[in-house]
Amino acid sequence: MKIAISAAGASLDSDAEPRFGRCPYFLIVDPETLEFEALDNSASMAAGGAGISAAQEIVNKGVQAVLTGNCGPNAYQVLSAAGIEIMTGISGTVRDVIEQYRSGRFRVSNQANVADHFGMGAGSGMGRGMGRGMGRGMGRGMGRGMGRGMGISSGMTPPADPPPQRLNPEEELQQLKNQSKDMMQALASIQRRIEELEKK
């Protein structure tokens, strides 16, 4: 059996990461032997569609469960359509999370536990006409307009917002093409799973 854990680093002693789509690494772990593979999350810096891209990568790794702090609706849909269990609310080191998993502490989530675009960081305005500051916090600030979300971690001051930048038409076109490609892959995965279930 293999499980995937969102992680801040590439070792079992790394901290577990509260974000799914934008975590720096996934550790693909055999919880019995503790053998693992560190997978660099190439989707973590994507302008959009990080959850879908990361979920597709995990689906391709053949894991049975994903353990993460939070999972948004797009990633949840891709993972659950592939028959992967999603468990949220993890904390501590990856090693701690594995122990908690083995002791049965986590329950399978039956829905996403955060809104779309969670984890984009403070001030991550997606720029629906009002700017594209790339925040560095772990907040909910994907703002569909001004992008003024504040970090949710208590005791932390959110970083100052960089000045808003507008996308030129070529950049916006490329971004939309990338999002479209991610969504097409997710839909293909969902369709495959539907066909598998219909054959049973």
CATH code (residue 48)? 3.30.420.130
> Which residue segment(s) compose the domain that 14 sits in?
3-102
Residue 130: band (very low, low, confident or very high) from pLDDT cuts 50, 70, 90? very low
**What is the predicted pLDDT for the residue at 117?**
52
Average pLDDT, the chain: 76
Number of domains in the chain: 1
| Residue spans of beta strands (DSSP E) within the chain | 3-7, 25-29, 36-40, 65-67, 85-87
Q: Is residue 136 part of a domain?
A: no
| pTM, 2 dp | 0.59
**DSSP state at residue 156:** -
Within-domain flag for 180 = no
- Predicted local confidence at residue 110, as pLDDT: 86
Within a domain: residue 167? no
CA distance 23 to 27: 11
Residue 131 maps to a domain:
no
Task: Examine residue 162 and state whether it is found in any structural domain, yes or no.
Answer: no
| Cα-Cα end-to-end distance for the chain | 22
- Taking residues 72-94, report their average pLDDT: 94
In a domain, residue 200? The reply is: no
Domain membership of residue 148 (yes or no) is no
Query: Does 55 reside within a domain?
Result: yes
Of residues 115 and 156, the one with the higher pLDDT is 115
Are 124 and 134 in contact, with CB atoms under 8 Å apart?
A: yes
Note the pLDDT of residue 116: 59
Please say if the pLDDT value at position 142 is more than 60.
no
Contact of 35 with 29, CB cutoff 8 Å = yes
pLDDT score for 135:
41
